[in-house]
Amino acid sequence: MSKKKEYKLSIQENNLLKAVICPICGEEFEPVIGPQVFIAGTWDPVCIPCSNKHIEPYMWLAQLVAHHGFKMLMISQGSFESKKA
């Protein structure tokens, strides 16, 4: 009986728009700009099918809300304001 391999994943802000290889299944894909699932502690993005298979939906939602809540807090404090020339 084979044991399902478990991966530690995280949701991070992705700014890379180029084809990469999923470290879980080995398929080539183009990650989205914005929140993306990665192998935790790395910048190795995980494809959507593998993300859906290995991350619990409530964890995705919790991390996404925390990520955007932090961004909104920083904006409200002026940390992301554009500098005027």
Instruction: Report helix, strand or coil for 34.
Output: strand
Per-residue confidence (pLDDT) for residue 85, from 0 to 100 = 44
45, with CB counted inside 10 A (0-12, 13-18, 19+), is buried
pLDDT tens, position by position, 3-22: 667 888 888 888 888 999 99
Domain boundary assignment for the chain: 9-76
Q: How many CB atoms lie within 10 A of CB 70?
A: 10
What is the length of the chain?
85
Residues of the chain short of pLDDT 50, as ranges, are: 82-85
Predicted TM-score (pTM) above 0.75? no
Residue 58 backbone dihedrals phi, psi, to 5 degrees:
-70, -30
Structure tokens at 60: 């995705």
Per-residue confidence (pLDDT) for residue 35, from 0 to 100 = 82
Radius of gyration of the chain from its Cα atoms, rounded to whole angstroms: 16
